[in-house]
Amino acid sequence: MADQHTDACVAPAEKTAGASKRQQTRQAILNAAMRLVAQVGLEGLSIGGLADEAGMSKSGVFAHFGSREELQIAVVAHYHQNFQDEVFTPSMTEPRGLPRLNRMVQLWMERIVSTADSGIFISGAVDFDDRPGPVRDALKQSVRTWMGAVQRAVQQSQEEGHLCAQREPEQLVFEIHGLILALHYDKRFLLNPNAHAYAQAGLQRLLDAHAGQTSPTS
């Protein structure tokens, strides 16, 4: 009975350790998936290819993701979380209004030109723009969540008087997104060394064109 009691006391800790190890393995697989997606795109992702990239067996990957579709959805969620941690959260330390909006877009641009970014928001749109289903739904929801955050930052900039309140915030968000798409294409596909500087200059012209009556707070 004493042995059974000891086992019962130890079991929860063992389960916790097992769950933690499983979570670490899952994160390692998703990190490998990010590297692979940068090369083959979200649509090109497969259990077999990921197993090779992660140095695991197919059955080992399959134990964490029961299907290719489930894997793709998990990759979208993982990318979104990384994007939030690296772009959205740091920008929230800036003052409300234009300083925050500018920081959001600058960090977005820096992520686009970084080799660490797999570009799922952009490449995934090409892969799934005309393919209805759970993966497309997950990707659209992720993109809309981020674009909604950008739009709120624009609206707050208008409320602070940093941007003209008579302009539609959706218009500026659309134009900013256009700069991001151009930056991705020129920098990562055409390898234009000036792409980032061009995008930054374009952003400044956009903000100047939408300027309000007061200067942003420092």
40-73 tens-digit pLDDT: 989 999 999 999 999 999 999 989 998 999 999 9
CATH of residue 15: 1.10.357.10
pLDDT band (50, 70, 90) for residue 14: low
Q: Is residue 114 part of a domain?
A: yes
Region 161-166 average pLDDT: 96
Q: Is residue 66 part of a domain?
A: yes
- Identify the DSSP state of 189: I
Instruction: Kindly state the tokens that stand for 164.
Output: 């003209």
Q: Is residue 167 part of a domain?
A: yes
Residue 18's pLDDT is what? 62
Q: Is residue 217 part of a domain?
A: no
Which residue range(s) make up the domain with 153? Answer: 2-209
Residue with tokens 């390898």, as numbered in its chain: 191
Residue 64's pLDDT is what? 92
Q: Is residue 218 part of a domain?
A: no
Q: Is residue 124 part of a domain?
A: yes
pLDDT band (50, 70, 90) for residue 17: low
3, pLDDT greater than 60: no
First to last CA, the chain: 69
SS (H, E, C) 91-139: HCCCCCCHHHHHHHHHHHHHHHHCCCCCCHHHHHHHHHCCCCCHHHHHH
Q: Is residue 50 part of a domain?
A: yes
Say how many domains are in the chain: 1
Q: What is the mean pLDDT of the chain?
A: 89
CA–CA dist 84, 78 (Å, integer): 10
CA–CA dist 218, 189 (Å, integer): 36
Region 107-118 average pLDDT: 89
Nearest partner of 80 among 49, 111, 55, judged by Cα: 111
Residue 189's pLDDT is what? 92
Residue 7's pLDDT is what? 47
Residue 213's pLDDT is what? 64
Region 31-46 average pLDDT: 91
Residue 17, Cβ density class (10 Å: 0-12 exposed, 13-18 middle, ≥19 buried): exposed
Q: Is residue 214 part of a domain?
A: no
